[in-house]
Amino acid sequence: MSKLLDLMKKLGSDAALAAEYGKDPEAVLHRAGVTDEERRAMLESDYAAVGKLTGLADGQYATNHTIKAYDK
């Protein structure tokens, strides 16, 4: 599983992590070890890129977990 998809799952299930992401997304992304491309996609809310990078493109979800997207 990609580090980005793992992080997204955690953001959907860990309120403290989601709150931290809301305050300092760069720090959370850095700690998660995502690639520069993944980091940019998340920071720019580029959902098409996030989908492609995680394999969640075209509504074909690769997980049974709730995935949340956080807008600024």
Q: Any idea where the domains of the chain sit in the sequence?
A: 3-56
CA quadruple 34, 37, 41, 62: dihedral, nearest 10: -60
- Span 34-51, pLDDT tens digits: 999 999 999 998 888 988
Amino acid identity, position 1? M
* 8 Å CB contact between 17 and 52: no
How would residue 57 be classed by pLDDT, with cut points 50, 70 and 90?
A: low
- Span 1-34, pLDDT tens digits: 689 989 988 988 898 999 999 999 999 999 999 9
pLDDT given at position 28: 96
